Amino acid sequence: MNTIKVNSPFDGSLIQEIPLLDEHQVEEKLAKAYALFQDRSRWLKPFERIAILEKTKAIMQTRVEELTKTTASEGGKPYQDSKVEVLRAINGVQLAIEHIGQLKGEQIPMGTTAASVNRWAFTLREPIGVVLSISAFNHPLNLAVHQIIPAFAVGTPVIIKPATSTPLSAIGLVKIMKEAGLPEDWAEVVICSRQNAENMVKDSRINYLSFIGSAEVGWNLRSKLSPGTRCALEHGGSAPVIVGADADLSQTVPALAKGGFYHAGQVCVSVQRVYVHENIIEEFTAQLVAKANALHVGDPMDPKTEVGPLIQTYEVDRVEQWVNEAVNEGAKIMCGGKRISDTCYQPTVLLNPDSESKVSQHEVFGPVVCVYAYSKLQDAVNRANSLPLAFQSAIFTSNLDVALDAVNQLNASAVMVNDHTAFRVDWMPFGGRDASGIGMGGIPYSMHEMTREKLMVIKSKVL
């Protein structure tokens, strides 16, 4: 039997070995999910789904420590941040419970023309069909919640293929759901090869694809969807931040240090490109460097650790290469710039990298923050908008008019004012635009996308 080995990204130790499903086993999972959706007699009513989710939440609340250790050990996110992820995941289940009762249609006016008299019309929202979720490594539990729970909440079967480096949290979530009373075939984890995952993506029995991961893979998979299959793709960004000359650095710098180095920068909206007004760039950079140098890097299971490892050793190699190239192309290393070990890289601040350097053009997905000087706001906005990536962005300023101008001009799906780009709560819309993705996440928004509208028109001579 083929297996995958789940190893600690910090020290490489084996956590667990998991069987890899073959083509026939994957087909069986998909066939059962599709058969379930086709048989309306097996559909769970809203109150039944609510009861299962309430029990799921209750079980998760009793296992916060266990879930935290699983998430931290397989993903490398520090223990303190992994605990926050677990608490967010529990709240995500609660959000789904609350929004089940808000799935509704509307009345469509009739009688406004002679042809529409004697009719009532209403829309209904129905589950879309079998949902296939393909997930990333960086938030193994919370991403599983965002891709499984909304689907079940609206009453549609879901199959999740988690990242092979971090499958344990998704497996644990589905086990908890089954412990809470989830019937078979409603939510299943599939650990399989890329080819078998792609076969599911192309299958006409899949009605909705939820993909979180690299843009190269996501856009390629979208091109292979069966006609009519809808999708949401969430890719990375290269989060731009503008810091005005009037920004309160006592608030700005700690926020950007957190947003840039959280989870070693392995976040799709991690602070990466910071455009700082030339009048304050020296002071800003000095304070950011002090924050970066004070961060505790190391074992994610140590409660004191603030920055853990990168997910794979080859990612350390890549970040090191990109930083070295940026320096050769004119960037100045203000702090960091070296690997600590095969798995950890120093929190790094680069000053004025060339606009064509990889760190300026692409998502670093590592603990690297780039700082650039600007003199006029419009120049900073233009540089922030210069990439095809467009996700979350930010501006720090005390001037409301400047803030509103930036919000209006920045090409982003969200603009944070006086907060870092990695801010998120799970009831807000969340997703990239342009090359950074399509569709919208966030628990209630995913629930809406995982349903479709049906119109009912009633004709009666008494109306």
- The radius of gyration of the chain's CA atoms, rounded to the nearest angstrom, is 24
What are the Cα distances from residue 13, in Å, to 6, 16, 302? 9, 9, 16
> How do 119-127 and 107-108 pair as beta strands?
antiparallel
CA–CA distance, 433 with 237 (Å, rounded to integer): 9
Which residue's entry shows tokens 């008019």? 401
Per DSSP, helices labelled H in 349-398 are 358-361, 377-384
Catalytic pick from 192, 268, 344, 370?
Answer: 268
User: What does the block give as tokens for 112?
Assistant: 């406004």
CA–CA distance, 266 with 344 (Å, rounded to integer): 12
Catalytic pick from 74, 188, 234, 363?
Answer: 234
Q: Indicate the length of the chain as a whole number.
A: 463
Indicate if 370 belongs to the active site: no
Nearest in space to 347 (alpha carbons), one of 312, 303, 306, 380: 306
**DSSP symbol at 265:** G
CB-count exposure of residue 147 (10 Å: 0-12, 13-18, 19+):
buried
Indicate if 65 belongs to the active site: no
Task: Residue 414: count other Cβ atoms within 10 Å of its Cβ.
Answer: 20
DSSP string, 327-351: HHTT-EEEE--SBSSSS-B--EEEE
CA atoms within 13 A of residue 339's CA, in its CB half-sphere: 17
Query: Which residues have a Cβ under 8 Å from the Cβ of 27 and sit 6 or more positions away?
Result: none
Which one-letter amino acid corresponds to residue 452? R
Residue 307 DSSP SS3: strand
SS3 content of the chain, % helix, strand, coil (to 5): 40, 20, 35
Query: Would you give the distance in Å from CA 125 to the centre of its chain?
Result: 25
DSSP string, 240-262: EEEE-TT--HHHHHHHHHHHHHG
Q: End-to-end CA distance of the chain, in Å? A: 66
Nearest in space to 133 (alpha carbons), one of 245, 211, 220: 211
> How do 332-335 and 348-351 pair as beta strands?
antiparallel
Give the relative orientation of helices 281-294 and 249-261 as an angle to the nearest 10 degrees.
50
Catalytic residue numbers read 234, 268
